[in-house]
Structure 1
Amino acid sequence: MPTDRRNLMVRGALLGAGLASAGIAPVAAGQGTGARFPSKRPAPADRRFVSSAVEQEIARVSRMIADPEVAWLFANCYPNTLDTTVRMATVDGKPDSFVITGDIPCLWLRDSAAQVKSYLHLARQDAKLRELFRGLIARHARSVLIDPYANAFMEDPSAPTALSWAKADDTEMRPGVAERKWEIDSLCYSMRLSHGYWRATRDAAPFDMQWADAMRAIVRTFREQQRKDGPGPYKFQRASRQPTETLLAGYGTPTRKNGMIHSGFRPSDDACQYSLFVPANLFAVTTLREMAQVANEARRDTALADDAVRLADEVATATAQHGIMRLADGSDVWAYEVDGYGNAIFMDDANVPSLSSLAWLGCVPADDARWQRTAKAAWSEANPWFFKGTAGEGIGGPHQGVNYIWPMSLIVRALSTTDDATILQCLATLKRTHAGTGFMHEAFEKDDAAKFSRDWFAWANGLFGELILHIAATRPRLLKMPLDGIKV
């Protein structure tokens, strides 16, 4: 994010004011049960979207959690997207779902798809949720057709951007576009949303001609950004003191074309140092194949499916050949970014897709030796964006800067491991670093969790809910274990 969002740091006496702006009252953590942990949800009449299935799931899972503070966090965080970010309408007689990120009233393709993921397993039994998903899939399709290079969109497709930091960008800003940072993962999340809904419901209603046109635009855009025949149509520059906010000469640093897809920006919305961003290329391979499954099964569109699979196979081969590197200790790992000339960066960023998230995303097997080496190195001093302090340890990134840990990294680590001790340590850290707010944040300072960014960040809240659901389904005994004695 630009400077406006980098400055959303909350501390001390400002904490209450920051929370009040989102309609949330702070509460001291660790004070007991019942009235000592009052709900931080909006009043029922003020909730943007209500699902009976989600309410039942909150009640069911909360009964499984022994720690009252963790149960309180789950009940606040899990429904946060529905409670506060969903705007339902109709377009051409069909549902339209506009899902904002939280404190920014725009739809990010990535965030919106990730925010609703933890409700997918309930969609088959809840007609209202199916309407939400149908509307969001349609909104994604229309957005991609407006501009497949954009990462964020306005609710009104005819409106200019309302984001102050994007108004002067040197790029082709079309009506309806809020920000035009080219990120491979934005289009991947649209395909993942479609596949998740199809797999959960077998409901073919959203997969109409508009959807197919959007999927063809995704394949076309990925091919353009292989840059085999030139730099392609996308160019972006922004006047900023932050080098992560703009691209060198509008295109990024030079690359040797090798079949991988170029990305201007990472899922943090920060510029890539080298444009061949490995986690997003691996995610593209996986989601292209998922989209092909939907095209085949829901539409019998073999031409679209075959085209997507051919591209996935090509990118997979290229990434396997060019996306690896060796660390100083000789470990063979996935690189974070490469340039095709033999130069590579090893680091990891909390935002997903990341190297740490590859197994959870289904891009590599969880027992893959290279990924395990990579994830171990990412959670260590081999990663310049790994921080350890008195408040906790975890991965951050350039977006919020040195010494700031993202709860998202802890959640993804817990979702990616089968080690009980690691899961409990991550859960204990999350419990101790919400600064009494009852919600997850974008990032917190490694030695003082009261210094944090974004008191209304729905993606992180949804991920926390997803983690608790995952533990309840796979290791319910861990929800009965005390967390207060666990060192973080």
Structure 2
Amino acid sequence: MSSQCPDYLEYSKVFHSPKSGGLLGLPFQRPVEACRKFTSSIIESVISNVTSKISDLDLAQLFANTFPNTLDTTVQSTACLAVADNCVPLSYIITGDINAMWIRDSANQILPYINYIKQDGNLKQLFLGAIYLQAHFFNIDPYANAFTEPNSIEALSESIHSSNLTKRDVPLLDGVFEKKFEIDSFASFMGLSYQYWVASGDDSFVGNSVWVDAVEGILTTIKKQQDPTFNVTSGEPLDTDYLFFQKADRPTETQFLNGRGQPVKHTGMVKSLFRPSDDASVFPFFIPGNAMLSVELNHLSVLLSKSSTKNARVQQLATESDKLSKQIREAIYKYGLIDHPTYGKIFAYEVDGYGSSLIIDDANVPSLLSLSYIGFLDQNDTIYQNTRKLVLSKDNPYYFSGPRGSGIGGPHVGLGYAWPMSQIIRVSNIILSSDNDQEIKDALNVILSSTDKTGLMHESVNVFKAAGGEDDKGYTRPWFSWANGLFGQAILKVMDERPHLLVK
């Protein structure tokens, strides 16, 4: 890539030709070919094929901009580590406008391309490289959620034994960008490994000690974070090996009780002191995160038990994964359900095992809205439908609807800001089980308008007010790689299952 290529953060703020030719006149926002960080001929073929069929020119342009956005802008570096004359790939994928690799984001950013890895060897290596690098990162610190780019593989191993104070006030091991414990990070890593195996048939990573060490560390950490706050016999507080406490201007940036979080009883669920928004949880048993963890532990068990690596250690991890998956699922149904006076039996967003619960939903995935999307239950499940009705209504304090759009937001960006991601998940859920074509059309129109004619997906959009000045664009983040890819994925799903909604 040329050293003359502009920073995409600045490039995305300028509208480029050719315009879509549709009513919104959306600009073409892909970097010029020489400035794209990763290219794949099969992905280019998919873009060309799909856009040629979409009748709405704005929608076609938005797909062309967003679907390849992760490859165009966030594949920061790739490397090949020589081990016993073999190449062990490493892929460093930044979240977008922040030069750090989030475990959750990086997994979700590349998943839209999973169905094409058999047709492109380099794309397959990109996936395998992300899996290996995530494993290396977990071996540095299983409690961290985001990491900086390593200079070398030696730096990865050495960093386990050193520490510094770089990100805010929280002590970090070298290579860690942020140490917010979010259980969906574990689930995302396991899910990426599983889906790669399903799509490629390649389970070579199961025979690599780096990956197996990471899995073992994850399962050990999960079991530690199932512990209650108090000793059940003496009532004394138990020790904990994870604290997150700092001086901050927002309460979502620190945790209760000097960093250990609100007290919990033993339920079988796993504590998560932070949500996928990177905001602190109110009650440590985060239901959507535990649901995703249960699903992916089950997938991990299947992968390990069917892998070509048949040693005792791998099989033991398969057994442990299956047991933990079932424990968490049973605990969600025992402690995570409440009887709502309007909606009936629904899932709470967070609980503590003592009877306290938080009734909201946040736009990030995993969320209550995404419970069927992540595979925890069927879209038509009565409890899910009850929960869905609540979170897409004014009875969810973070559901916002105004003249500029609607959707679920959250405390991360403040009141009145809806995340387009919630509408994308809504579209994906509708496709799974509903014949309501109009609802899909309505959601796609909301998503189109949410771009504010920039041609890219944002983190969130103010549903009440447009731009209020140079520093207030009416949205947050000029482009959001994860949401871009998720939108592209949704369009492919509509094209595959409801082509009459898109095709000329």
CA contact (8 A) 2:17 2:28 kept: no
Residue 489 of structure 2 is aligned to residue 466 of structure 1: yes
Residue 435 of structure 2 is aligned to residue 427 of structure 1: no
- Taking the TM superposition and a 5 Å limit, the aligned residue runs for 1:76-475 are 76-86=65-75, 87-92=77-82, 93-156=87-150, 158=155, 167-170=167-170, 172-207=171-206, 208-228=208-228, 230-248=238-256, 249-298=258-307, 299-300=309-310, 301-329=314-342, 331-417=344-430, 418=434, 419-448=436-465, 450=467, 451-475=474-498
Q: What SS class does the counterpart of residue 204 from structure 2 fall into? A: coil
* CA displacement 1:18-45 (0-9 Å, x = unmatched): 9862455226999725996552111111
* Greater shift in the superposed pair: 206-215 or 67-76: 206-215
In the TM superposition, residue 89 of structure 1 has moved relative to its aligned partner by: 1.5
CA contact (8 A) 1:29 1:435 kept: no
Task: Find the aligned partners of 2:275 and 2:264 in 1 and give their Cα distance.
Answer: 17
Q: What SS class does the counterpart of residue 205 from structure 2 fall into? A: coil
In the TM superposition, residue 74 of structure 1 has moved relative to its aligned partner by: 0.4
CA contact (8 A) 1:19 1:25 kept: no
Q: 1:28 to 1:240 in 2, by over 3 A?
A: farther
Task: Find the aligned partners of 1:355 and 1:165 in 2 and give their Cα distance.
Answer: 35
Task: Find the aligned partners of 1:25 and 1:330 in 2 and give their Cα distance.
Answer: 46
* CA displacement 1:111-130 (0-9 Å, x = unmatched): 00000011000011110111
Q: 1:224 to 1:349 in 2, by over 3 A?
A: same
Q: What SS class does the counterpart of residue 173 from structure 2 fall into? A: coil
Indicate the residue corresponding to 1:5 in structure 2.
none
* CA displacement 1:342-369 (0-9 Å, x = unmatched): 0111100000000000101101111111
Q: What SS class does the counterpart of residue 59 from structure 1 fall into? A: helix
* CA displacement 1:324-358 (0-9 Å, x = unmatched): 11223261100000011101111000000000001
Task: Find the aligned partners of 1:434 and 1:379 in 2 and give their Cα distance.
Answer: 21
CA contact (8 A) 1:134 1:205 kept: no
In the TM superposition, residue 435 of structure 1 has moved relative to its aligned partner by: 1.2
CA contact (8 A) 1:98 1:139 kept: yes
Q: What SS class does the counterpart of residue 191 from structure 1 fall into? A: helix
In the TM superposition, residue 323 of structure 1 has moved relative to its aligned partner by: 0.6
Gaps of 5+ in 2: 1-5, 232-237, 468-473
Cα root mean square deviation, aligned? 2.3
CA contact (8 A) 1:27 1:436 kept: no
Task: Find the aligned partners of 2:11 and 2:204 in 1 and give their Cα distance.
Answer: 35
In the TM superposition, residue 165 of structure 1 has moved relative to its aligned partner by: 11
Task: Find the aligned partners of 1:165 and 1:271 in 2 and give their Cα distance.
Answer: 20
Task: Find the aligned partners of 2:250 and 2:489 in 1 and give their Cα distance.
Answer: 33
CA contact (8 A) 2:338 2:348 kept: yes
In the TM superposition, residue 231 of structure 1 has moved relative to its aligned partner by: 4.8
* Greater shift in the superposed pair: 172-181 or 91-100: 91-100
CA contact (8 A) 2:39 2:72 kept: yes
Give the counterpart letter for 1:206 in structure 2: F
Residue 49 of structure 2 is aligned to residue 60 of structure 1: yes
Which of 32, 35, 48 matches 2:37?
A: 48
Q: 1:43 to 1:221 in 2, by over 3 A?
A: same
CA contact (8 A) 1:28 1:436 kept: no
Task: Find the aligned partners of 2:239 and 2:96 in 1 and give their Cα distance.
Answer: 34
Q: 1:32 to 1:331 in 2, by over 3 A?
A: same
CA contact (8 A) 1:410 1:426 kept: yes
Gaps of 5+ in 1: 1-16, 482-488
* CA displacement 1:135-159 (0-9 Å, x = unmatched): 0000110011111100000112649
CA contact (8 A) 1:244 1:271 kept: yes
Indicate the residue corresponding to 1:486 in structure 2.
none
* Greater shift in the superposed pair: 20-29 or 393-402: 20-29
In the TM superposition, residue 447 of structure 1 has moved relative to its aligned partner by: 2.1
Percent identical across equivalent pairs? 39
In the TM superposition, residue 432 of structure 1 has moved relative to its aligned partner by: 1.1
CA contact (8 A) 1:395 1:405 kept: yes
CA contact (8 A) 2:182 2:273 kept: yes
CA contact (8 A) 2:240 2:260 kept: no
CA contact (8 A) 1:145 1:214 kept: yes
CA contact (8 A) 2:17 2:27 kept: no
CA contact (8 A) 1:146 1:174 kept: yes
Task: Find the aligned partners of 1:20 and 1:120 in 2 and give their Cα distance.
Answer: 26
Give the counterpart letter for 1:324 in structure 2: L
Give TM-score, length-normalised by structure 2.
Answer: 0.87
Q: 1:20 to 1:320 in 2, by over 3 A?
A: closer
State how many pairs are aligned.
Answer: 461
Q: 1:34 to 1:257 in 2, by over 3 A?
A: closer
Task: Find the aligned partners of 1:449 and 1:306 in 2 and give their Cα distance.
Answer: 53
Task: Find the aligned partners of 1:463 and 1:294 in 2 and give their Cα distance.
Answer: 25
Task: Find the aligned partners of 1:173 and 1:239 in 2 and give their Cα distance.
Answer: 16
CA contact (8 A) 1:50 1:83 kept: yes
CA contact (8 A) 2:263 2:352 kept: yes
In the TM superposition, residue 58 of structure 1 has moved relative to its aligned partner by: 0.6
Task: Find the aligned partners of 2:190 and 2:54 in 1 and give their Cα distance.
Answer: 34
* Greater shift in the superposed pair: 294-303 or 22-31: 22-31
Give TM-score, length-normalised by structure 1.
Answer: 0.90
Q: 1:231 to 1:21 in 2, by over 3 A?
A: farther
Q: What SS class does the counterpart of residue 178 from structure 1 fall into? A: strand
Give the counterpart letter for 1:39 in structure 2: F
Q: 1:258 to 1:20 in 2, by over 3 A?
A: closer
CA contact (8 A) 1:231 1:251 kept: no
Q: What SS class does the counterpart of residue 110 from structure 2 fall into? A: helix
Task: Find the aligned partners of 1:31 and 1:258 in 2 and give their Cα distance.
Answer: 53
Task: Find the aligned partners of 1:235 and 1:65 in 2 and give their Cα distance.
Answer: 50
Q: What SS class does the counterpart of residue 91 from structure 1 fall into? A: strand
Task: Find the aligned partners of 2:349 and 2:181 in 1 and give their Cα distance.
Answer: 17
Give the counterpart letter for 2:251 in structure 1: P
